[in-house]
Amino acid sequence: MDVTRAYIFVAQLVVVAAFTGCDKPRSGETVFPKTANECQATAVPGQYLVRWRNGHVTTEAGSSRAQFIDDFVEPQLEKIDFVEADQVVRVDAELESSSLYDYPDNWGTQRIDASVAWQKNVRGDNILVAVIDSGVDITHPNLAGRVYKNPGESGLDPSGKDKSSNGVDDDGNGFIDDVSGYDFVANSPHVYDNSFHGTHVSGIIAAEHSDIVHQTGHVQGVAPGATILPLTFIDATGGGTLGDAVRAIDYAVKMGAKIINASWGGAPCSQILGEKIASLANHNILFVAAAGNRSTNIDVDKEYPASYNYPAQITVGSTGNLDLMADHSNYGDSRVHLFAPGSRIVSTVPGGGYRSSTGTSMATPFVAGTAALIWSTRPQASASEIRQILLSTVKFDALYRNSSQGRLDIGHAIMSILP
C-alpha cells in the first residue's frame, strides 16, 4: 500500500470511529438525568419539566413515567434535550404573635444604617424588583404606590375598554391583562397573596415611608422608591413547583426586572433551575436567594437555589438583633455570601396590617432592597458589580460562617460609592 492510500485509509477509519462513538442510541429513559431517582421525595406526581434542544422549557403531564416516556418523549425524542420530574419547593416562615414584638419595629433597617441612603435621597427609584413568591396585596397602603403597572396593559384599548380587564393580550407578551404581574399557580393576572409571605417580603424591600403610627409602629422599606413586580408561584399551603418558578423567572426577564427576590427553596436537584439562574447574568439581573432555615451547612448539605453559586447570585443568611448568626439560619463558608437581619421583622401583611416574622426569607429582601438602592445610583453597573459592592462593604465578623464573613451594611455601601 503506498503512503497516500495509507493516509486515506487511516483517515477513513478515524472518521468512521468518530461517528460510531458519537452515535450512541438514545431512548426515552436516557433523557432523564442520572439523579432523577434521587429526587423522588419532592417530585410532583405526573408532572415533568422538558428542556427542549432549542433551549425552551415546558411543563408537561403524564399519568406515570412509563406512560410519559411512551406517549410524549419517544415520539419527540430528537427534539428533547433532557427531562426532569417537576419538584416542590416551599417557603418557611410564619407570622408571629404580637406578644413577640419585643424588638423595635425597624431594628433591621436601623442596624444596617439604611437611613444613610435615605438622607442622601437614595431610594431605589426606577429599579424593578421581581418578588417571586406567594403573591402581594397590591392594595396595601404602604405598597399600592410601589407596585408595577404594565404600560402595555394600562389605559383604554381602541374600543374604549380598560386594557387591564378586557381579556386581551394588549402588549403581546403572551399574558392577558397582566397589569401588575402574574399568578402562575392560577394562570391569572390577579396576584392576591395566597398566604402573607410575598406581601411581607415586599414590605421589607419597598414599603413607602409614612408618618402614620400603626398598631405596631412605623414600617419602612429599605428602598421606598423601588418598584415591586409581584409573581405568584407559591400556593396557600406554602408550596410551589419548579415549573412555575421557572415560568416566573422567564416573565421577570421579559418585563425588565433588575433584581429577583427568591425567599424560598428546598429543591434537591434541578439542572433546569440551575441553568435558568445562571443565564440571568446574560440579562444583567441579580438573583437574591434565601439560605434556608435548617441551621445547616449548605456547602455540604446542599439546598437549592441557595447552594448554587453563580456570578449574578447572592445567597443570604440571617442575624438576630444582637448581630449574631440566627439559630435558624443556614450557613456556608462558600455558598452563603452574607447575613442580614431576619429575626422578628415587622412588615406589611394582607389586609392593610403589619406583623412580625422570622427567617432567612426576611433577611433576603433586605439585600434585594439594598441592591436596588445601589443600582439606582449606578444605573450602568452590571449585576456582578452590584454584587461586589454589597459583599465588599459588609460589617466584618470573623465568627460569621459566610464567604464575606460579613453582615449587610447599607451605610458603608452607600458611603463607598457616593461623595
pLDDT value at position 219?
A: 87
pLDDT bracket for residue 35 (50, 70, 90) = low
pLDDT average, residue stretch 299-309: 94
Residue 391 has pLDDT above 80, yes or no: yes
Q: Of 8-22, 230-244, 298-312, which gets the smallest average pLDDT?
A: 8-22
Catalytic residues: 133, 197, 361
pLDDT at residue 252 is higher than 80: yes
DSSP H/E element including 384: helix 383-392
Query: What is the model's pLDDT at position 179?
Result: 98
**Can you tell me the mean pLDDT for 325-348?**
97
Separation between Cα atoms, residue 289 and residue 176, nearest integer Å: 29
The per-residue pLDDT for 264 is 96
Average pLDDT, integer, range 211-225: 72
Look at residue 42 and tell me whether its pLDDT is greater than 90.
no
pLDDT at 266: 80
Residue 27: band (very low, low, confident or very high) from pLDDT cuts 50, 70, 90: confident
Give the pLDDT band (50/70/90) at residue 98: low
Q: How many CB atoms are closer than 10 A to CB 374?
A: 27
* Burial (CB count <10 Å: 0-12, 13-18, 19+), residue 41: exposed
CA 358, CA 320: separation in Å to the nearest integer? 9
Distance CA 358, CA 68 (A): 41
Walk me through the domains of the chain, giving residue ranges and CATH numbers.
3-88 (no CATH), 95-417 (3.40.50.200)
Q: Report whether 207 contacts 164 (CB < 8 A).
A: no
Q: Which residue has the cell 434537591?
A: 268
pLDDT score at 30? 85
Are residues 340 and 308 in contact, defined by beta-carbon separation less than 8 angstroms? no
- pLDDT of 96 reads 77
Q: CB–CB of 261/205 below 8 Å?
A: yes
3-state DSSP assignment of residue 74: helix
- SS3 readout for 217-247: ECCCCCCCCCEEEEEECECCCCEEEHHHHHH
Q: Among 207-211, 291-295, 311-315, which is the least confidently predicted range?
A: 207-211
* Mean pLDDT, range 251-258, rounded to an integer: 98
Q: Virtual CA dihedral for 349, 354, 359, 365, nearest 10 degrees?
A: 70
Share of the chain above pLDDT 90, in %: 80
pLDDT > 90? residue 9:
no
* Residue 95: per-residue pLDDT: 82
The pLDDT of residue 398 is above 90: yes
Residue 74: the pLDDT is 94
Q: Is the pLDDT of residue 24 over 60?
A: no
pLDDT of residue 315: 99
pLDDT digits (tens, 9 = 90+) for 401-414: 999 999 999 999 99
Q: What is the average per-residue pLDDT within 273-282?
A: 96
DSSP 278-329: HHGGGGT-EEEEE--SSSSBTTTS--BTTT---TTEEEEEEE-TTSSBPTT-
Average pLDDT over the chain reads 90
Which residue in this structure is represented by grid cell 452607600? 414
Residue 97 pLDDT level (bands cut at 50, 70, 90):
low
pLDDT at 43: 87
pLDDT score for 38: 56
Share of the chain residues as helix, strand and coil, in percent rounded to the nearest 5: 35, 20, 45
Cell of 306: 441557595
Give the DSSP letter string of 149-196: --GGGSSB-TTS-BGGGSSS-TT-SS-SS-TT-EETTTTBS----SSS
Query: What is the number of residues in the chain?
Result: 419
Closest CA to 87 of 239, 205, 308, 197: 239
81-96 pLDDT tens trace: 999 999 999 998 888 7
The four Cα atoms 54, 59, 63, 65 give a dihedral, to 10 degrees, of 50
Choice among 64-73, 228-237, 261-270, 355-364 with the minimum mean pLDDT: 261-270
pLDDT in the model for residue 36? 54
pLDDT at residue 286 tops 70: yes
Q: What is the pLDDT of residue 87?
A: 92
Q: Residues 15-31: what's their mean pLDDT?
A: 55
